[in-house]
Amino acid sequence: MSQDLWTAVDDYIEELLVAPDAALDAAREASAAAGLPEIAVTPSQGKLLYLLARMVRARRILEIGTLGGYSTIWLGRALPPRGRLVTLEADAKHFDVARENIARAGLSKRVDQRLGLALETLPLVAAEGAGPFDFVFIDADKESSVEYFEWALRLSRPGAAIVVDNVIRDGEVADPETEDERVQGIRRLNEALARESRVSATTIQTVGSKGYDGFTLILVGA
Ligand code: SAH
Ligand code: DHB
Ligand code: MG
């Protein structure tokens, strides 16, 4: 079992099941050309986010961690005509690259980008009454995962879905002695989820072109 095989299978799945989309392809290319880290969700993961958002009939979506807007475009595509997506990003360069990518996808009117540390912009989003959200994608600094989850829960309606990316990290999440602060952040999230009676959650390990990782899926309302 190897990375080459996982990548070949992702290529096979994407060829058949993920329709080409010029704006999504352009977003990946422009993000790479601008020197952004190549850590966006894969095409098949992007389509999973799109399908999950459609399954909960999301009209309001919150994303924490925009990067170049690749996952933003997938989620924006899941919205009905009057739907809205708020996406939070701390890095001004990422924010600017995402703005171009989102515009090219024709989503500028539906997507509300906020520049700043998410723990500073989330209170503003809450104060404006931008929620309640039907779907939240948490994909920023993993150290703050518990805080992001708590905000997501506070800003979500019953029946909302919350997805957290990068929760396995090559299996390191199961190591109680881990010194990686990002993994420690995910372990604190898991402990919070275990205690939280207002949600029901599970975590799925994944392999693919981005290696061995996984995501947590949380349903708001036990
Ligand atoms: N969701 C994107 C990938 C996000 S990568 C996709 O799949 O296409 C993580 C992003 O979170 C990076 O752009 C990083 O700059 C941003 N980030 C890191 N710390 C942050 C913080 N405290 N607040 C907001 N954004 C943050
Ligand atoms: C990293 C961040 C991500 O959101 C991701 O999907 C993969 C890697 C990282 O910071 O290494
Ligand atoms: Mg991620």
Close Cβ partners of 214 (under 8 Å, ≥ 6 residues apart): 166, 167, 168, 203, 204, 205, 206
Helices 43-55, 70-77: inter-axial angle, 10-degree rounding: 40
User: Whole-model pTM?
Assistant: 0.98
Q: Ligand 2 pocket: which residues have CB below 6 Å?
A: 39, 139, 165-166
Q: How would you list the strands of the sheet with 84-89, edge to edge?
A: 111-115, 84-89, 60-64, 133-138, 156-165, 211-220, 199-208
Q: How far away, in angstroms, is 140 Cα from ligand 2 center?
A: 8
Q: Where residue 89 falls among pLDDT bands split at 50, 70, 90?
A: very high
pLDDT one-digit tens code per residue, 95-124: 999 999 999 999 999 999 999 999 999 999
pLDDT at 104: 98
Ligand nearest to the CA of 41: 1
What is the CA(166)–ligand 3 centre distance, in A? 5
pLDDT of residue 35: 98
Q: What is the pLDDT of residues 185-203, one digit of tens each?
A: 999 999 999 999 999 999 9
pLDDT at 27: 98
Q: State the pLDDT confidence band at 28, using cuts at 50, 70 and 90.
A: very high
| The pLDDT value given to residue 132 | 97
Instruction: Give the distance (Å) from ligand 3 centre to CA of residue 138.
Output: 8
For the stretch 157-185, pLDDT in tens is: 999 999 999 999 999 999 999 999 999 99
Of all protein residues, the one whose alpha carbon is nearest to atom 5 of ligand 1 is 67
Q: In the prediction, which pLDDT does 39 show?
A: 98
Q: Is the pLDDT of residue 1 over 90?
A: no
Calculate how far, in angstroms, residue 39's C-alpha sits from the geometric centre of ligand 2. Answer: 5
> What is the average pLDDT value for the chain, to the nearest integer?
97
Each residue of 59-87: pLDDT tens digit?
A: 999 999 999 999 999 999 999 999 999 99
Distance (Å) from CA 200 to ligand 2 centroid: 25
Using N-to-C axis directions, what is the helix angle for 70-77 and 22-33, rounded to 10°? 160
pLDDT of residue 42: 98
Ligand 2 atom nearest 182 alpha carbon: 10
Q: List pocket residues of ligand 1, CB cut-off 6 Å.
A: 39-41, 65, 67, 70-71, 88-91, 94, 117-118, 139-141
Residue 80 is predicted with a pLDDT of 97
pLDDT of residue 86: 98
**Residue among 94, 119, 120, 181 whose CB has most ligand 1 atoms within 8 A, to mutate:** 94
The pair of structure tokens assigned to 144 is 């703050």
Give the pLDDT mean for 147-163: 98
pLDDT at 47: 98
